[in-house]
Amino acid sequence: MTSATPARSGSKGAVRRGNAPATVGWSWLDNLLHVHPATTVVMFTPVIAACVWLSAGRTGGWALAGWAGVGYLTWTLSEYWGHRIVLHYEPEKGFGARLHYILHGVHHDYPQDARRSILSPILSIPMVGGTIYLSSGLGSLPLVFGAGYTFGYLTYDLFHLYLHHARPKSRLMRHLRSLHMRHHFRDDTRGFGISAPYWDELFGTSIARQQRPGTAGPGNPDV
């Protein structure tokens, strides 16, 4: 199978429907680069369970919850800065341009492809594994910190998938979906916090709501 031609993810609104073709020349490699959402759950749920299990009894209950919360908060910063600095670093040509397309550009071109809505394992595995190793292997933090971090990553991935493929009913979920759709279809240089949009507010990258031309007024919000 031939690989897809890279396209800039910044082509806001120029969305292709359906599933994306392979981003590399071999379908088996593409299936390793872009996995089914269930694969991510199967890979990382045991990591969370193991970190909690190994921490139990070594850390008090409140401390356990506290370190898990710190791990989760650390993930939200990884989500924001990883999305902003890594996934939206867009070289114009060469290997860097190809790599950007494989890791994130294809998701902007095919936002309804579930496999492209999940972070590639070539990023998620080193990111989660590296964080646990640095925090608890080299550092002295309890492993439950890694559990909170990994839980944050996994919920982010599924949350991102939900915002693309569901029609949220609650006001909060509709708001969060609107924020993410603005990133996709209006300005992909802003709106990097998906499960944690408060970092956009703090770091000055939030996307304000706009009105559709000719429909100004409450009740006619645009993304």
Give the pLDDT of residue 29: 87
Tell me the residue ranges of DSSP E strands in 23-93. Answer: none
15: left (phi over 0), alpha (psi -120 to 50) or beta: beta
Give the pLDDT of residue 24: 82
Give how far Cα 98 sits from Cα of 93, 104, 139, 169, 173, Å.
Answer: 7, 10, 35, 37, 33
Q: Which of 119, 126, 114, 85 is nearest to 102 (CA)?
A: 119
Token digits of residue 173:
């979920």
For residues 125 and 143, what is the distance between their CA atoms, to the nearest angstrom?
A: 17
Give the pLDDT of residue 213: 54
CB count within 10 Å of CB 109 equals: 20
Long-range pairs, 40-43, Cβ under 8 A, ≥24: 40/118, 40/119, 40/121, 40/124, 40/154, 40/157, 41/154, 41/158, 43/121, 43/125
Give the pLDDT of residue 163: 94
- Summarised one tens digit per residue, pLDDT across range 196-212 is 999 999 999 998 766 55
Give how far Cα 178 sits from Cα of 18, 42, 167, 172, Å.
Answer: 21, 29, 11, 10
Global pTM value: 0.85
Give the pLDDT of residue 36: 92
Q: Which residue has the tokens 């971090």?
A: 149
Give the pLDDT of residue 149: 98
Give the pLDDT of residue 217: 38
Q: Which of 55, 13, 30 is nearest to 147 (CA)?
A: 55
Give the pLDDT of residue 118: 92
For residues 145 and 65, what is the distance between their CA atoms, to the nearest angstrom?
A: 9
Q: Which residue has the tokens 């998701």?
A: 107
Give the pLDDT of residue 8: 44
Token digits of residue 112:
């309804």
Given a cut of 70, the residues of the chain with pLDDT beneath it are 1-15, 18, 59, 209-223
- Summarised one tens digit per residue, pLDDT across range 165-196 is 999 999 999 999 999 999 999 999 999 999 99
